[in-house]
């Protein structure tokens, strides 16, 4: 008993989150300590589908995940409300740069936007014994068109933005598991307006999205050590051209941009109480955005280093009241952020390291219930408790169906 109390104190004394993926209610209640096994894993590695077959999970305001086993070796699924794949961490990103570039260059085409698009992903899992393969296929897309015609001239315009891609992953082993992934996508934007007087074109000069990652789960005595890394690279630039007959033509290329997201994480988790678990995790996030202009010989970079500590506890009870299972969950996390900026113009350089920001400790709690094939998880915000009758606000709700 004394050893157990010491373990609980150690867990509560520390407080990561994968910055690149959304969460369901259970993970939110467990302080986003994602090294714990959860269906949310398929957002990072589709190969984990084998662990969550015949499961449907609906999280309100977060992803909807459905997985169906076709036979012993094949699983199909869908992810809804995943959100856009490219980074929006900094104010200047692909979406905030590309969309205004097209909307301002191509007139009078109706403004194009992709921020309101929630395009589903298709996921596929193939089990080949010791090796399991997973594929997450997506195609983010938006398009607008305009046409005007009178007795004098005709004007046609169109604009589109798309990002087709696939994330392939592999899972090896059983108790000692190793996962690896490789993803590629091609974000592009384009616009064109044609009239009797001129032809204007604007769009991507280049665009690429690459994602790499690896994760290992290593059993050590009564606990399991999990370590992993995620690396996401985005590179893009845009060009503009205007041709006015008979021989006038203007060409221009915008700055070149690079976005990077790296997460290195490690943690341990194990069993506690009669039907519970605990976990502690650390994540180092390295985030960067670089812009480069060859014409003016200028370069700028924004970056941020984020240290995240998290801990969590979960315990379950069987056959409590009318429910088959009841879970109580809690966790705590803390972020330490250090922003950096760098500017270069010719021979002049300026570097700035801002002060490290110690964010507040963020406690989280939640409840889960299961009745037959139905599950319900609640992430509860105790900081917003209206009164004794109405109780605290529910921050996130996840409903599940095991079929």
For 233-252, write each residue's pLDDT tens digit. Answer: 999 999 999 888 776 777 88
Beta-bridge mates of residue 261: 232, 287
DSSP state of 31: T
Average pLDDT, the chain: 89
Tens of pLDDT along 284-324? 999 999 999 877 789 999 999 999 999 999 999 999 999 99
Q: Report pLDDT for 390.
A: 55
Q: How far apart are the first and last CA of the chain?
A: 39
Residue 330 has a pLDDT of 97
Neighbour-count burial of 294, counting CB atoms closer than 10 A to its CB (0-12 exposed, 13-18 middle, 19+ buried): exposed
- Average the pLDDT over each of 10-19, 120-129, 315-324, 389-398 and give the range with the smallest value: 10-19
Where do the domains of the chain lie? 2-402
Q: Mean pLDDT over residues 255-274, rounded?
A: 95
Tokens of 214: 């690896």
Q: Check: CB of residue 192 under 8 Å from CB of residue 185.
A: no
pTM recorded for the entire structure:
0.89
The CA distances from residue 224 to 130, 180, 316, 373, 398, in Å, are 20, 18, 20, 29, 27
**Tokens read off for 186:** 């091609």
Instruction: Place 378 in a pLDDT band, splitting at 50, 70 and 90.
Output: very high
**What is the full DSSP assignment across 32-65?**
T-TTS--GGGGGT-GGGGGGS-SEEEEETTS-EE
Question: How many Å separate Cα 209 from the centre of its chain?
Answer: 14
* 72-125 pLDDT, tens digit each: 889 999 999 998 999 988 888 999 899 888 888 887 767 788 877 889 999 999
């Amino acid at each position: 008993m004394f050893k157990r109390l010491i373990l609980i104190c150690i867990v509560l004394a520390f407080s990561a989150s994968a910055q690149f993926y959304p969460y369901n209610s259970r993970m939110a209640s467990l302080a986003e300590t994602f090294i714990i096994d959860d269906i949310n894993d398929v957002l990072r590695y589709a190969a984990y589908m084998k662990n969550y077959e015949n499961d449907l999970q609906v999280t309100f305001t977060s992803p909807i995940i459905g997985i169906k086993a076709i036979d012993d070796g094949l699983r199909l699924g869908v992810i809804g409300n995943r959100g856009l794949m490219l980074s929006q961490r900094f104010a200047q990103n692909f979406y905030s740069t590309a969309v205004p570039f097209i909307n301002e260059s191509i007139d009078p085409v109706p403004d194009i936007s992709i921020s309101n698009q929630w395009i589903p992903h298709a996921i596929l899992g193939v089990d080949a014994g010791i090796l399991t393969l997973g594929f997450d296929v997506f195609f983010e897309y938006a398009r607008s068109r305009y046409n005007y015609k009178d007795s004098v001239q005709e004007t046609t315009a169109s604009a589109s933005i798309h990002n087709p891609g696939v994330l392939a992953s592999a899972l090896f082993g059983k108790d000692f598991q190793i996962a690896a992934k490789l993803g590629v996508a091609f974000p592009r934007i384009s616009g064109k307006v044609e009239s009797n007087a001129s032809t204007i074109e604007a769009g991507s000069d280049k665009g690429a999205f690459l994602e790499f990652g690896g994760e290992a789960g290593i059993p050590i005595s009564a606990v399991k050590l999990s370590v992993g890394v995620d690396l996401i690279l985005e590179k893009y630039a845009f060009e503009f051209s205007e041709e006015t007959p008979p021989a006038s033509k203007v060409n221009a290329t915008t700055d070149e941009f690079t976005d990077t997201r790296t997460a290195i994480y490690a943690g341990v988790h194990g069993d506690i109480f009669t039907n519970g678990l605990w976990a502690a995790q650390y994540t180092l996030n390295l985030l960067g955005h670089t812009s480069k202009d060859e014409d003016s010989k200028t370069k700028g970079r924004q970056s941020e280093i984020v240290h995240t500590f998290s801990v969590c506890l979960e315990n379950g009870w069987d056959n409590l009241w009318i429910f088959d299972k009841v879970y109580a969950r809690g966790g705590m996390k803390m972020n330490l952020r250090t922003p950096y900026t760098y500017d270069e113009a010719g021979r002049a350089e300026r570097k700035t390291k801002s002060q490290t920001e110690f964010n507040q400790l963020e406690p989280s709690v939640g409840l889960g219930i299961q009745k037959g094939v139905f599950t319900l998880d609640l992430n509860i915000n105790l900081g917003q408790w209206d009164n004794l009758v109405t109780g605290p606000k529910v921050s996130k709700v996840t409903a599940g169906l095991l079929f």
